[in-house]
Structure 1
Amino acid sequence: MRFSGLSRAGTARTLLRLAAGALLLAGLAGHARAQDRTAISGTTVSLAPLKGFAPSTKFAGLENTEAKASMLVVEMPPEAHAQLSALFNNLQTAKTNFAKQNIVIDEAEDIDTAGGKGRILTGHQNVAGTTFDKWVVLLKGAKTVMITVQAPEDSDLDGDDVVTMLKSVSLGAEPTLDQKLAALPFRVRATEPFRVVDTFGGLGVLMTSGPLNVDPKGSQPMLIVSYQTGGQVAAGQLAAVAEKLLQTTRGFEKAEIAKRETVAFAGSKAGVLLSGRTAEGATGKRFAQYIGLGPDGRFVRLIVSADEATYPSLEPAIKAIADSIAFAQ
């Protein structure tokens, strides 16, 4: 199954962008000290967090809400490790690829963790005039695991403390699908003929209809629900953001929007629904994209596409899934 028209390799690159650059959280106060071990819900990861960090309700990881610092866990299929290892193990390759996300990588080193050997990249990213220090580690267990820690450059977070925390990471068995769904920052219920294939990055869920779980040709209907963690969106900007996201989603760059509607979605009465065809001409599929704002200015997005002949029969199920979506409390 493709993610928004992505191949398996493209999906890994998308999750890399998510892990390395999505969280634009700021601040960290006080000297960091390790606490008791904490399991990251919905993932294989457990670790001894730095003082002030607690499990997040917005993503798979930890955050210091007062200081606005973060640690994000992204897990991918085990086969993604080979591709990402090639990126992490060559410093120049890492610099080139992360630079595409406006992240400067300064150093790379191997570390020993409780979960096995890892590779850590350190660098920084400037966002809206604020520079964030970043640490990104790659590990392999039952899943390919990538962990990103970040904090503002002017905080007193010590890099040695971050590395110590990352060295404490241990990797357990893969959680069940129900456990991964429960760990998402939103609630969603599949409706036949759609079924859940898997979650990704602790931030999204993939559904399809048909016999295949892996569909590199994109022959089956595809439905993705995902939560946005980076930045905030004002209600008046949502329509523009919806169109921009559609235009930058692989496979939807040339989407032809036939209808723009204001709908109730994800607890908001002012959600945005775009629908039409994925491409101009006779070869496109039909699509729909819902976006709804949460109370903190972040949003949840549903995007679905299917062949022209199949789509009408799926519309009741699509609406039922959209109606089931709500932000986690």
Structure 2
Amino acid sequence: MRGLLVAAFGCIFSVQAALAAEPVFPPASRVGIVPLDDMVMSKRFSGFENSEKATAITFAEMPPEAYDQLVAGLTKDALKRQGLAVTARENLKVGASSGLLISGAMTGPIKGRKWVLAVKGADMTALLIAQVQGGNDGYSEQEMRKALTSVALRGPVSLDEQISALPFRIGDRAGFRPVRVLSGNSVLLTDGPLDTVKAVEQPVVILAVSLAPPPPTTDQRERFARAALVSNQSIKEVAVERAESFRFKGQDWHETVAKAVDTASGEPIIVMQTIRFEADRYVRMVGIARVAQRAETLPRFRNVIDSIDMAL
């Protein structure tokens, strides 16, 4: 009898261990992992984190055709320019999927260790970025590798579910409709029948919540806003018409309106960038339209960002 009881308890514990090892998917995410001990689902981005150990694993989803281009761009020199000194690069299989795992040391102002995992699924590409800030008192190399290689991909999630999982709510879409959610913290909207806008055929709006605290002073925020605008590779020849900081609804804001050129098509465009700063995060809106649509679209862009309500 005792042997039967031991076997029964052993079976129960085995089942519990198996259940505990199941991948966990953030709301509306097609990417999941088996999180490490003490890691929790982030409320700031799609992924998991442990603030006490200064550790985060973020997820991003892309089309399947993006994998080859993504991997080709993850060169040692390119990553070095982005503050990652590569120490290891490995092609591997993750379940039935192919992947590339890169690890190295963070060389920017914030020191630590970093991992980049690209995974090619049947109908999507997943990008996982993990980092442990500081020394070696956080998770070990083996633990981080175990978490990353536990990645699992699931089937499509409805757009409505993805929008409901965003860390903000849009009170007034101003006639725009959502077409895509990115990285669990941003959404692309447009006005027109096309879901993919290639030559600014339709106005587009991108709303995103930051993953990091904003710059603390007004001068720093103005420089940050300028740098954010000109670093947008989809536009070029940026000529600022208006840039101003102001207080609205008890918060600090910065807004820029500029003329530019669409990089892909050469079409002259008008760009509005509005950033709403909070104590520990910021919301950024970028609206783009053809110059001829300026008068009707700029007020609508502003209506969208004015209506944002932070969900968390």
Range of TM-score over shorter length: 0.7 to 0.9
Question: Displacement, 1:301?
Answer: 0.6
State the Cα deviation string for residues 164-212 of structure 1 (Å, max 9, x = none).
Answer: 1122221111211122222323322562532112011223211112222
Specify the alignment match of 2:113 in structure 1. 133
Structure with max Cα Rg: 2
Question: Displacement, 1:78?
Answer: 1.5
Alignment of 1:239-318 (within 5 A): 239-263=222-246, 268-278=250-260, 284-296=268-280, 298-318=281-301
- 1:115 & 1:327 partners in 2: Cα distance? 38
Alignment-mate amino acid for residue 37 of structure 2 = K
Specify the alignment match of 1:155 in structure 2. 136
Secondary structure at 1:73 match in 2: strand
- 2:156 & 2:187 partners in 1: Cα distance? 16
- 2:238 & 2:96 partners in 1: Cα distance? 43
How many residues end up aligned between the 2 structures?
286
Question: Displacement, 1:95?
Answer: 0.7
Does residue 187 of structure 2 align to residue 205 of structure 1? yes
- 1:227 & 1:254 partners in 2: Cα distance? 26
Of 33, 40, 64, 1:78 maps to 64
Question: Displacement, 1:36?
Answer: 6.0
Question: Displacement, 1:251?
Answer: 4.6
Name the TM-score, length of structure 2 as normaliser: 0.82
Alignment-mate amino acid for residue 104 of structure 2 = G
Specify the alignment match of 2:35 in structure 1. 49
Residues 184 and 161 (structure 1), Cα distance of their counterparts in 2 relative to 1, 3 Å cut: same
Alignment of 1:88-167 (within 5 A): 94-114=75-95, 116-128=97-109, 130-141=110-121, 142-152=123-133, 154-156=135-137, 157-167=139-149
Secondary structure at 1:196 match in 2: strand
Structural RMSD (CA): 2.5
Specify the alignment match of 1:65 in structure 2. 51
Alignment-mate amino acid for residue 34 of structure 2 = A
Alignment-mate amino acid for residue 165 of structure 2 = A
Residues 268 and 117 (structure 1), Cα distance of their counterparts in 2 relative to 1, 3 Å cut: farther
Of 153, 158, 168, 1:171 maps to 153
- 2:145 & 2:178 partners in 1: Cα distance? 36
Q: Is the 8 A contact 1:268 1:293 kept in 2?
A: no
Q: Is the 8 A contact 2:162 2:184 kept in 1?
A: yes
Question: Displacement, 1:55?
Answer: 0.7
Specify the alignment match of 1:184 in structure 2. 166
Q: Is the 8 A contact 1:235 1:293 kept in 2?
A: no
Alignment-mate amino acid for residue 98 of structure 1 = L
Name the TM-score, length of structure 1 as normaliser: 0.78
Question: Displacement, 1:319?
Answer: 2.7
Specify the alignment match of 2:16 in structure 1. none
Residues 115 and 149 (structure 1), Cα distance of their counterparts in 2 relative to 1, 3 Å cut: farther
Q: Is the 8 A contact 2:67 2:125 kept in 1?
A: yes
